[in-house]
Amino acid sequence: MDAKDEELVKLLERCALKDEAALKQLYDQLGPWLNGVAFRILKSAELSNDVLQEAFVQVWNNAASYRPEKAKPLTWICSILRYRALDRLDKEKKHQDRRVEDEDLHALDNYASTENVEHAVQGSEMNQHLSDCLQAIGDRLGTCIKLAYLYGYSREEIASHFSSPVNTVKSWLRRGSEKLRECLETKL
């Protein structure tokens, strides 16, 4: 565990003791980045701020259940936010017809390499390995995975984009994840 993770773990430990100043420190350090993640999925400043608030309240309420040996602090916190954002997206989708946007497709390139990486959170070298593996599994499988993970697109929405059956997309996602895991494990 690096120094940055250790600092976050200590802040979570203080949150478990209901130290509000620790939550504020977490918010100051991670709030802008987490809001960016929520905005990426929800594409709404109002919704992303709502989800950010919900996520920090959940971090506060559940800090005592965080186990450093099970997950890195950033992973634990970001997962809380992502599942909140995905839940909210599901609710919003009931009221709208969503299609894969060109802007999202163009932005996928930003996630394909370490160029233009946002260093605000880690402030250190990024892991190039995932990018390499996403490229190695092929353009279509990699695009499917990124559209789903980065923007919360459903199988149906991805299928519509590729003009393919939904079951085909499901199979792409599963095959893609298997290839990705194999690739990732070679370098772990």
Q: Which is nearer to other proteins, 78 or 97 (CB)?
A: 78
Other C-beta atoms lying within 10 Å of the C-beta of residue 174: 11
Shortest approach of other proteins to residue 129 CB, angstroms?
Answer: 8
- Distances 38 to 129, 136, 168, 169 between C-alpha atoms, Å: 24, 28, 28, 24
Q: Cα(105)–Cα(176) distance, rounded to whole angstroms?
A: 18
Closer residue to other proteins in complex, CB, 10/57: 57
> What's the closest the beta carbon of residue 164 comes to other proteins, in angstroms?
14
Q: How far is the CB of 170 from other proteins (least distance, A)?
A: 8
Contact of 69 with 113, CB cutoff 8 Å: no
Choice between 86 and 165, CB closer to other proteins: 86
What gap in Å lies between CA 176 and CA 137, rounded to an integer? Answer: 7
Phi, psi at 135, each rounded to 5°: -75, -35
H-helix or E-strand spanning residue 59? helix 45-62
**Secondary structure (3-state) at 95:** coil
Beta carbon of residue 102, minimum distance to other proteins (angstroms, whole number): 18
Closer to other proteins by Cβ: residue 99 or 129: 129
Q: Return the number of the residue (155 or 161) whose C-beta is nearest other proteins.
A: 155
How many Å is the maximal CA-CA distance in the chain? 52
Residue 64 C-beta: closest distance to other proteins, Å: 7
